[in-house]
């Protein structure tokens, strides 16, 4: 069922577990978009995706022809597109500020990728990948805790309202905690509220967004 | 007083993740230097312990602007020097970022292959080949639909063209020695439009310095 609001409607094709598609969902919810989540049969429908991967965002607009909606792959491209559309890039006309936001988002995504490669990669590289994750996460936590303190420890990376980097941290950390905690709970201690207090304030701040109440409630059930 | 901007790019002395950053700096005619940190001694002095790092020194700013992450650096330079095609069109901008991300994903998989132990390589190689085939199909179509003129969009060099040139030339330089089969999806038979575009771009004098620097650069091991 499509949630309503706005001249475009969206379809998000993604799996039915929390992972790389979560930031896109949150942006659609915060933006008040009319959208639906479709779970492709996998791997049967892999070849129907732009490069055989998910997520894929499809924007249906009244000005597009029915057989040519705007279809976009790649989380970075999708998130930046929606964040720009719905005003979740901080100071979007300042190239340095935008670059800083993309840099911080890339750190967070690299941390997620390092974790996924450790837990889902071949056994022959598990030990090496675990080291890479711990090193990556350690560096990211140190750097990001400082950035958040410099912004006033208010639960936001920039300014005083939720923007893309806040959303990226919220979704990536929650996806890690939800999808992987059952495998090895201790491995995420580096990201808990004792070791990363400022980052956890960001998670709390985004969780408190009224538009995300149902979304957060569903995540807690997992 | 005229504002002067110069750049320092901190990276290893090899052809790897920073090639598109270098190609961008050469293409825009920036005044820049490559700074090679002592490694791992200077790892802790980098923003999150990683390279590349770009430092912009501007006479109009009190402090230099320091930026980590190759993707953020590329985005910054491409935006600052107006290298995106039709930047006011949000969907076209998203398309350009998507296509760049495809190239990045192939690179990341190739890096995993090169650094993986022999036993783990088949796992990553099969993922790489599956992704490379899909990405090549998509990019070939974009280039054909733009008239096979050597550009992804329009008829002048934009960010994607620069990334494609740097990416393919680096792959050719690196893989021919390390894992030659990774070049197959990107060769002239399987990717004629991409190869045609890179051949046309390579003749642009604006890339002469970049290509010369790449030829003398060491390969990543």
* Contacting residues of A for B71, CB less than 8 Å apart: 76, 102, 106
- Per-residue pLDDT reduced to its tens digit, A104-151: 999 999 999 998 888 888 888 888 888 999 899 999 999 999 999 999
- What are the backbone dihedrals phi and psi of residue A35, each rounded to the nearest 5 degrees, phi first? -155, 160
Q: In what order do the strands lie in the sheet with B31-35?
A: B31-35, B5-10, B53-58, B65-68
Asked if the C-beta of B81 comes within 8 angstroms of chain A's C-beta atoms, the answer is no
Q: Mutation test of the interface with chain B: which of A48, A70, A103, A137, choosing the one with the most B Cβ atoms within 10 A?
A: A103
Altogether, the residues listed in chain A come to a count of: 222
User: Collapsing DSSP states into helix, strand and coil, what is residue A111?
Assistant: helix
Chain A positions in Cβ-Cβ contact with residue B47 (cut-off 8 Å): 103, 143
Q: If we measure between CA atoms, which residue out of B35, B14, B10 comes closest to residue B114?
A: B14
- Residue A65 has what pLDDT? 61
Within 8 A of A98 by CB-CB distance, chain B residues are: 75-76, 79
**Is some CB atom of chain B closer than 8 A to the CB atom of A25?**
no
Residue A178 has pLDDT above 90, yes or no: no
Distance CA A75, CA A56 (A): 8
In chain B, which residue's Cα lies nearest the Cα of A81?
A: B94
* Banded pLDDT at A176 (limits 50, 70, 90): confident
Checking if the pLDDT of B1 tops 70, the result is: no
Q: Which of B29, B79, B24 is nearest to B52 (CA)?
A: B24
3-state secondary structure B160-181: HHHHHHHHHHHHHHHHCCCCHH
Confidence (pLDDT) at B220: 65
Q: How far is A72 from A85, CA to CA, in rounded Å?
A: 14
Residues A187-216 pLDDT 10s: 678 888 999 999 999 999 999 999 999 999
User: pLDDT at position B177, please?
Assistant: 78
The span from the CA of A87 to the CA of A84, in Å, is 5
Indicate if the pLDDT at residue A37 is higher than 70. Answer: yes
Candidates B98, B112, B137, B141: best to mutate against A (most CBs of A within 10 A) is: B98
Q: What is the pLDDT of residues B20-46, one digit of tens each?
A: 999 999 999 999 999 999 999 999 999
% of chain B at pLDDT higher than 70 = 98
Q: What pLDDT, on the 0 to 100 scale, is given for residue A5?
A: 43
Record the pTM.
0.94
Q: Do B116 and A81 touch (CB under 8 A)?
A: no
What are B212-215's contacts with CB under 8 Å, separation 24+? B213/B22, B213/B26, B214/B15, B214/B19, B214/B22, B214/B166, B214/B169, B214/B170, B214/B173, B215/B173
Complex-level ipTM: 0.94
pLDDT at position A66: 57
Q: Is A19 helix (H, G, I), strand (E, B) or coil?
A: coil
% pLDDT > 90, chain A: 71
Q: Is B82 exposed, middle or buried (0-12, 13-18, 19+ CB in 10 A)?
A: exposed
Check CB contact under 8 Å for B116 and A85.
no
Residue A98 has pLDDT above 80, yes or no: yes
User: Taking CB atoms and an 8 Å cutoff, what residues of chain B touch A136?
Assistant: 48
Q: Do A139 and B49 touch (CB under 8 A)?
A: yes
Q: Taking CB atoms and an 8 Å cut-off, how many pairs form between chains A and B?
A: 97
Percentage of chain A beyond pLDDT 70 is 92
Whole-number pLDDT of residue A40: 97
pLDDT tens per residue, range A151-174: 999 999 999 999 999 999 999 998
Name the DSSP letter for residue B201.
Answer: H
């Amino acid at each position: 069922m499509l949630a309503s609001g706005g001249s475009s409607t969206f379809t998000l094709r993604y799996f039915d577990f929390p992972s790389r598609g979560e930031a896109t969902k949150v942006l659609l919810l915060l933006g008040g978009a009319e959208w639906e989540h479709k779970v492709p049969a996998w791997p049967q429908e892999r070849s129907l995706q732009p490069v055989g991967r998910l997520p894929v965002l499809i924007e249906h607009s009244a000005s597009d022809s029915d057989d040519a909606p705007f279809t976009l792959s790649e989380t970075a491209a999708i998130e930046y597109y929606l964040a720009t559309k719905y005003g979740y890039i901080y100071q979007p006309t300042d190239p340095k500020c935008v670059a800083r936001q993309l840099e911080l988002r890339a750190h967070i995504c690299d941390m997620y990728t390092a974790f996924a490669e450790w837990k889902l990669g071949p056994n022959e590289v598990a030990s090496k990948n675990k080291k890479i994750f711990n090193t990556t996460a350690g560096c990211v936590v140190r750097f990001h805790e400082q950035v958040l303190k410099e912004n006033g420890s208010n639960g936001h990376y920039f300014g005083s309202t939720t923007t893309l980097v806040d959303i990226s941290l919220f979704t990536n950390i929650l996806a890690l905690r939800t999808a992987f905690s059952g495998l090895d709970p201790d491995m995420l201690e580096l990201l808990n509220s004792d070791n990363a207090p400022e980052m956890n304030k960001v998670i709390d701040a985004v969780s408190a967004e009224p538009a995300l109440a149902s979304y957060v409630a569903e995540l807690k059930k997992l | 007083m005229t504002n002067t901007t110069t750049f320092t790019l901190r990276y290893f002395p090899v052809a790897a993740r920073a090639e598109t950053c270098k190609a961008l700096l050469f293409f825009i005619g920036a005044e820049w230097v490559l700074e090679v940190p002592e490694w791992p001694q200077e790892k802790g002095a980098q923003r999150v312990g990683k390279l590349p790092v770009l430092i912009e020194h501007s006479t109009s700013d009190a402090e230099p602007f320091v930026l980590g992450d190759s993707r953020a650096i590329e985005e910054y330079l491409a935006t600052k020097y107006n290298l995106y095609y039709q930047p006011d069109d949000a969907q076209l901008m998203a398309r350009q970022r998507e296509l760049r991300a495809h190239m990045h994903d192939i690179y990341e998989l190739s890096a995993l292959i090169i650094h993986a132990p022999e036993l783990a390589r088949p796992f990553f190689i099969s993922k790489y080949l599956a992704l490379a085939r899909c990405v090549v199909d998509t990019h070939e179509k974009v280039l054909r639909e733009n008239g096979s003129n050597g550009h992804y969009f329009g008829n002048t060099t934009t960010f994607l063209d620069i990334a494609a040139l740097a990416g393919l030339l680096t792959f050719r330089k690196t893989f021919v020695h390390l894992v030659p089969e990774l070049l197959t999806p990107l060769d002239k038979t399987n990717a004629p439009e991409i190869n045609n575009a890179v051949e046309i771009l390579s003749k642009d004098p604006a890339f002469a310095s970049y290509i010369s620097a790449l030829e003398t650069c060491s390969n990543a091991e």
